[in-house]
């Protein structure tokens, strides 16, 4: 499903030199997840005017969710629904951004660490039992777990910077 959607959507994407990554729970083998495909599209610089991208994605069924810009200013979020059920999400961001690095690191840690993956799955299953006013409320409930993993990324980044400065 991911490969098909990327091939469809990226064939004439209005920005050149994009990097595309499968993120979110469906990108992690052996992790129970909702059937929502998360596609992260990285560009050199996040454009100020998102209209050409919004217009390009509309025929594919994507809606630009501008209201989420305040929550994550370094990302532009698009979602696709079929029969009232969300099926795909596109996260447009700069591949130089902290958001890009954070999502890729989190995904890779889940792929590489079975105990971390199981802990995350357990949290997600517990949260799935609740009712949520919005997708963002559900995402926010996972923040503490995600941030605990991101601390490792930040520590590694600092270590690499200090090692480079010593040379």
CATH class of the structural domain 2-162: alpha beta
Task: Assign 129 to helix, strand or coil.
Answer: coil
Contact, 99 vs 75, CB < 8 A?
Answer: yes
Phi, psi (rounded to 5 degrees) for 44: -55, -55
pLDDT of residue 167: 65
Write down the domain spans for the chain: 2-162
Q: What is the pLDDT of residue 27?
A: 97
Which one-letter DSSP state was computed for residue 27? G
pTM for this structure? 0.90
Strands of the sheet with 85-94, listed across from one edge: 19-23, 37-43, 85-94, 75-82, 62-64
Successive 10-residue mean pLDDT values, the chain, 167 residues = 95 94 96 93 96 97 95 96 95 97 97 97 91 81 93 88 74
pLDDT at 34: 85
Q: Is 43 left (phi over 0), alpha (psi -120 to 50) or beta?
A: beta
Sort strands 62-64 and 19-23 into parallel, antiparallel or unpaired: unpaired
For position 123, what pLDDT does the model report?
Answer: 95
């Amino acid at each position: 499903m991911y490969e098909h959607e990327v091939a469809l959507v990226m064939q004439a994407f209005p920005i050149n030199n994009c990097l595309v990554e499968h993120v979110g729970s469906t990108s992690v083998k052996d992790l129970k997840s909702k059937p929502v495909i998360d596609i992260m599209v990285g560009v050199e610089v996040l454009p100020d005017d998102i209209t050409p991208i919004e217009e390009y994605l509309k025929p594919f069924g994507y809606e630009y969710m501008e209201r989420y810009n305040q929550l994550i200013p370094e990302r532009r979020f698009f979602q696709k629904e079929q029969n009232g059920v969300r099926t795909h999400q596109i996260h447009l961001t700069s591949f130089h951004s902290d958001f890009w690095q954070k999502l890729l690191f989190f995904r890779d840690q889940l792929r590489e660490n079975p105990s971390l993956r199981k802990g995350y799955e357990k949290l997600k299953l517990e949260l799935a039992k609740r009712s949520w006013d919005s997708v963002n409320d559900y995402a926010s409930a996972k923040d503490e777990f995600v941030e605990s993993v991101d601390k490792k990324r930040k520590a590694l980044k600092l270590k690499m910077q200090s090692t480079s400065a010593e040379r």
